[in-house]
Structure 1
């Protein structure tokens, strides 16, 4: 989420259920310009994947234009059966300071029926100001943690008895992985709700590499996984998704899978690893800190009181 100051100006906000190919490319170009200016993406990977491929249940796109030029974008996802709809928004750097961020925020409040959660990636002061203007309060902090992969000893992975690890086979392991992912992240609205379409979107990305997607099995049954990701331009490795099936936790499997993935990333010649973890998940934060991770930055989520 990015913000700006208010000033009267002619603009139009259009809400769509799907984007045309040209509209999607225009939004991606806007996001790329903003990312170069801000040093990070204003819309998450999931949000960027949802720009293409037609309509998706519960997803709306808001396009803010001035004199026919796209200068702002917001995405609203209303798929959580309990929580308020979640949004991300951005204004092109060259058009900030004219109230476009507030206009998009007000449009999001209207579309969502004033039940809204908004991500502010990086937690910048301008986004905090916009949240206050919109009457939103902070309620979630997602930390990005990093640690070096060079000059920093990685322990040998110690798997629980009877557990073996292999790599993901696209097409053959999809259903089993989706089932375990849903179980492991039943408490996590974004990750736990991934569908086959979401998995297919990720498998179609240039970064996808099944050799960095590790599956842990016991007696032929999937009990955990560590999906790694390489950010080529940044030369950065990511603990993309790490999950253990309920009932298989507490035996050191999560730590062993983490080490296996980090060793894989180190073998790829990457110097740094990163991951995301909720700040209120004290147990996970403590585990990662003991493995050498430190907080690098934080994404903040704001919401309406109602």
Structure 2
């Protein structure tokens, strides 16, 4: 445990930890949830929230900012990419904003990362954009959240599976290794999705939302060639096109569209009124496909980084 000296004031302390106690995890989860109720979207991603739990994880550090003993802010720094700069997310309690806590956390992240840093601003809020400017960060990546209705009055896209392809649902334990291999190949260009490990998959399988009946696998002669993993956000009544992946050698034949259509039909069968998904703005081909399927932009997440 260390104290960060960046931008500290009387009563403010930043601790940098390799792992959190159960009480600290609960406090951070409460902070994230409170902020999400105010902001309309979590400031820490699903991956970041999963990495709070389960003890020490290689390359993950947690920054706890307290104000006179009260947890006022949290940041997570992930330094697992051998090429890219460390990535971070941060959140400040809604009742304690406007006191320099965000800038203090940002400065601590810069110091801890050696001034090589990427930071997510989920929802692209003006305060986050201002903080990025203050910290000297520049816009690097845009991630769009798209949505479309699933109601009966809205026709869903159709897609025909290529000849020789069959579809079944995921079997936990049996399909883990083959899915991880296809996911890595399909997302070799993607800094987060392509790097998922067995531990990451196990974390998600342990979540209350996990349902193998909504995890579709496409096979050719018994070999996994693509998948569509759906997710249900029960409180928001949203169905998510969580991940669609196709092996590079199978791309361009309509398999991705067919898998997406299968997942959307499944989400509609659950009575969900709306579907959502995330796609990088610079992935123009995927963006065009989803827009032709009736998806429109709902909000944008922004990533900023240092120039070096």
* TM-score interval, normalised by the smaller of the two chains: over 0.9
Kindly report the root-mean-square deviation, in angstroms, between the aligned alpha carbons of the 2 structures.
Answer: 1.1
The answer to whether the 8 Å contact 1:9/1:98 transfers is no
Secondary structure of the residue that 1:295 maps to in structure 2? strand
Please give the TM-score of this superposition, normalised by the length of structure 1: 0.97
- Which aligned runs of 4 or more in structure 1 are off by greater than 2 angstroms? 6-10
d(CA) in 2 for partners of 1:190, 1:157: 28
Where does the alignment leave 5 or more consecutive residues of structure 2 unmatched?
1-6
d(CA) in 1 for partners of 2:69, 2:26: 15
Partner residue in 2 for 1:97: 98
Distance 1:7 1:21, change over 3 A: closer
Post-superposition offset of 1:7: 10
Mapping for residues 262-273 of structure 1, pairs under 5 Å: 262-273=264-275
d(CA) in 2 for partners of 1:289, 1:17: 42
Post-superposition offset of 1:155: 3.8
Distance 1:9 1:97, change over 3 A: farther
Distance 1:171 1:37, change over 3 A: same
Please give the TM-score of this superposition, normalised by the length of structure 2: 0.96
Residues matched between the structures, number: 301
User: 1:139-163 deviations in whole A, cap 9, x for unaligned?
Assistant: 1000000000112112443000000
Q: Check if 1:259 corresponds to 2:261.
A: yes
Distance 1:18 1:7, change over 3 A: closer
Post-superposition offset of 1:31: 0.5
d(CA) in 1 for partners of 2:53, 2:8: 33
d(CA) in 1 for partners of 2:37, 2:157: 37
Partner residue in 2 for 1:3: none
Distance 1:155 1:132, change over 3 A: closer
Q: Check if 1:30 corresponds to 2:31.
A: yes
The answer to whether the 8 Å contact 2:51/2:57 transfers is yes
d(CA) in 2 for partners of 1:231, 1:292: 20
Where does the alignment leave 5 or more consecutive residues of structure 1 unmatched?
1-5
User: 1:18-47 deviations in whole A, cap 9, x for unaligned?
Assistant: 001110000000011101111110000000
Post-superposition offset of 1:9: 4.9
The answer to whether the 8 Å contact 1:228/1:237 transfers is yes
d(CA) in 1 for partners of 2:49, 2:10: 28
The answer to whether the 8 Å contact 2:11/2:69 transfers is no
d(CA) in 1 for partners of 2:21, 2:216: 36
Partner residue in 2 for 1:51: 52
